[in-house]
Amino acid sequence: MTTLAHGALLAGADMYRDICHLDALESESAHILREVAGQFEHPVLLFSGGKDSLVMLHLALKSFWPAPLPFALLHVDTGHNFPEVMAHRDQVVAEHGLRLLVASVQEYIDSGQLRERRDGTRNPLQTLPLTDALRDGGFDAVLGGGRRDEDKARAKERVFSLRDEFSQWDPRRQRPELWSLYNGRHAPGEHVRVFPLSNWTELDVWQYIEREQIGLPGIYFAHERDVFLRSGMWFTPGAWGRARDGETVQRRLVRYRTVGDMSCTGAIDSAAATVAEVIAEVTASRMSERGATRADDRLSDAAMEDRKREGYF
């Protein structure tokens, strides 16, 4: 084989990999979604209106088309979500005629079942409404958009991740997953959390959004916004809280890489106004989206794993 022919083969292999990697990820996720529909009696898909759950919903609709979606959607609303994201969530649900269940953190606070944290962060407060909604709804599988590249605790989870009767995660009870074989067996009261996007990266998600023309809330793209700096992140003032003494509100060009509760989700300085520009920005980034913009993950090195052990998604 000549050097030229060998080089041409390598170039061809690279091209084949580039063309197929989104197809391979899509195919794997569709297989997982269909396994859930086949193995479980009462699954539900977590849906917040953020980019990962929008990709999940798109994959699910595509996997079962032309049949209707075989499960409902569930959102745990902290009461401090971004209004743009809530509007987009409701628009998508109405567009596809889907059934959306909402578990409200605010209702738990109003009834005295939960108390506001001193740091104002509501993300950890989602666990009780979530676990109650799963128990009351009798759900035996819960689909979520978590990815292994987001956080080291999520990197440890299997695609099918068993939870006990208290919704708690024990990493030692994880099952092997060889040759794409997924074990959904569980005892009464237990359920399985399922992560069809486990093997995707943030860049994969954005490339898929571009290819499939998936609509997103506008806050994922650069826009001018009133923000203040706290712990190295730009926060938006709102019902959850405002700038403290020494923190100055500024008008800046920012965008969000992830859209959780406003009390713990920061924006980044960015001029990326299109999907292509966001892809270029993500490609150059050396920090994960959660590491860059989620204050709740900075509470400790094991913050995510601790929450997962208690029942958080």
Same domain, 222 and 292: yes
Q: Are 92 and 51 in contact (CB under 8 A)?
A: no
Same domain, 59 and 131: yes
> Which range of residues forms the domain containing residue 59?
21-203+303-310
What DSSP letter does each residue of 63-95 carry, written as one string?
Answer: HHTTSPPSSEEEEEE-S---HHHHHHHHHHHHH
Give me the phi and psi of 287, to 5 degrees please: -130, 140
In a domain, 37, yes or no: yes
Model pLDDT, residue 4: 43
Same domain, 156 and 228: no
Same domain, 222 and 73: no
Same domain, 86 and 189: yes
Residue 58, domain CATH? 3.40.50.620
In a domain, 58, yes or no: yes
Same domain, 62 and 137: yes
Instruction: Taking residues 220-232, report their average pLDDT.
Output: 93
pLDDT tens column, 6-52: 555 455 555 555 558 999 999 999 999 999 999 999 999 999 999 99
In a domain, 209, yes or no: no
In a domain, 12, yes or no: no
Same domain, 92 and 142: yes
- Identify the band that residue 309 occupies on the pLDDT scale cut at 50, 70 and 90: low
In a domain, 213, yes or no: no
Model pLDDT, residue 202: 94
pLDDT tens column, 105-147: 999 999 999 998 887 788 889 999 999 999 999 999 999 999 9
In a domain, 10, yes or no: no
Same domain, 28 and 95: yes
Same domain, 193 and 270: no
Instruction: Taking residues 158-166, report their average pLDDT.
Output: 91
In a domain, 8, yes or no: no
Same domain, 163 and 254: no
Task: State the chain's mean pLDDT as an integer.
Answer: 88
Number of domains in the chain: 2
In a domain, 179, yes or no: yes
Same domain, 54 and 145: yes
Question: What gap in Å lies between CA 32 and CA 53, rounded to an integer?
Answer: 15
Burial degree of 306 (CB within 10 A; 0-12, 13-18, 19+): middle
Q: Nearest CA to 184 among 239, 142, 129, 151?
A: 142
Percentage of the chain lying above the pLDDT 70 cut: 86
Question: What gap in Å lies between CA 217 and CA 206, rounded to an integer?
Answer: 13
Same domain, 165 and 26: yes
The CA-based angle 50-109-154, given to 5 degrees, is 40
